[in-house]
Amino acid sequence: MLVVIKDDYAAISAEAARLVANRLRKKPDLVLGLATGSTPLGLYDELVRLHREEGLDFSKVTTFNLDEYVGLSPDHPQSYHHFMQVHLFSRINLQPRFTHVPDGLALDIEDHCAWYEAQIRRYGGIDLQVLGIGANGHLAFNEPGSSLGSRTRVKTLTQKTREDNARFFGTVDDVPRYAITMGIGTIMEARELLLVATGEVKADAIAAAVEGPITAMVPASIVQMHPRAFLIVDRAAASRLRGEYSSSFEEAVMVRRPLGRE
Ligand code: PGA
């Protein structure tokens, strides 16, 4: 695991976008795993800027999103499908048929989850998976207690997660109770992980995920087991870490060549 601490949110977003762009320039048909939430917004804005100003090309990219609320249609304003459309898909040259978000209206959810996993395999697996982290340590909607080997399935959202996400819905009662989420086992099969976190509100979760024991009660702690996991966090989110970490990939590469940005 390579932890890089940046000064602020803008710097995290720029560094994360640099890593994605670097992978995309090397592999134009990159299979990119995407996340929703407020944290990756800066990364997506920066990717849009690189597309517009530097011609970063997404035309051969395939994407797979981590999760979706059960019961929300793709055009529901709070669906993750809609979120991706507004914040990324409509602003770059991704081909719609290469974008995948779990279907919150699937009639047979179990069947849909199996299909989603099969699609990921069909495209050769995810090269780089973007991740946020919940204040409770969740990874996608794998809430505390999720099996560390889990696959794409339905999860019941915790009260904490529903409260955290109520800001998008108005009231907590409007937040769906269930979501389809890639499993932890699914996420761990991505060749590289890129986790971004910002703010004091994530400091406990980051400390537990990076330096705590690997436990299902902190699903994000599983990233310690991934051979190529990059965590980009700001000072506030890093404030409860005790180890010493680098402030750039270049600096980290000087001591840890294998995980560098080649
Ligand atoms: P956030 O959500 O980026 O909105 O904080 C992250 C998450 O819950 O995984």
Mutating to test ligand 1, I would choose from 38, 155, 200, 231 the residue with most ligand atoms within 8 A of its C-beta, which is: 38
**Region 147-161 average pLDDT:** 95
- Calculate what percentage of the chain has a pLDDT beyond 90: 92
What number does the ligand 1 atom closest to the CA of 35 have?
A: 9
pLDDT at residue 11 greater than cutoff 90: yes
**Tokens 């597309």 — which residue?**
51
Q: pLDDT tens across 208-236, in order?
A: 999 999 999 999 999 999 999 999 999 99
Does pLDDT of 46 surpass 70? yes
Confidence of residue 249 (pLDDT cuts 50, 70, 90): confident
The CA angle 129-107-113, to the nearest 5 degrees, is: 25
- Supply the mean pLDDT for the chain: 95
Ligand 1 nearest-atom number relative to CA 161: 8
Spacing, Cα 255 to ligand 1 middle (Å): 31
Please give the domain boundaries of the chain with CATH numbers for all domains.
2-234 (3.40.50.1360)
Which residue numbers are catalytic? 67, 136, 138, 143
pLDDT > 80? residue 120: yes
DSSP string of 154-209, one letter each residue = EEEPPHHHHHHHHHHHSSGGGS-SEEEE--HHHHHTSSEEEEEE-SGGGHHHHHHH
Closest ligand 1 atom to 201 CA = 5
Q: What is the mean pLDDT of residues 131-139?
A: 97
Give the residue-averaged pLDDT of 43-67. 98
* Alpha carbon of 78 to ligand 1 centroid (Å): 14
Residue 261 has pLDDT above 80, yes or no: no
- Residue list, ligand 1 pocket, CB within 6 Å: 37-39, 132-134
Mutate which of 84, 138, 164 for ligand 1? The one with the most ligand atoms within 8 Å of its CB, which is 164
Per-residue pLDDT of 183-200, as tens digits, reads 999 999 999 999 999 999
Task: Give 254 Cα–ligand 1 centroid separation in angstroms.
Answer: 31
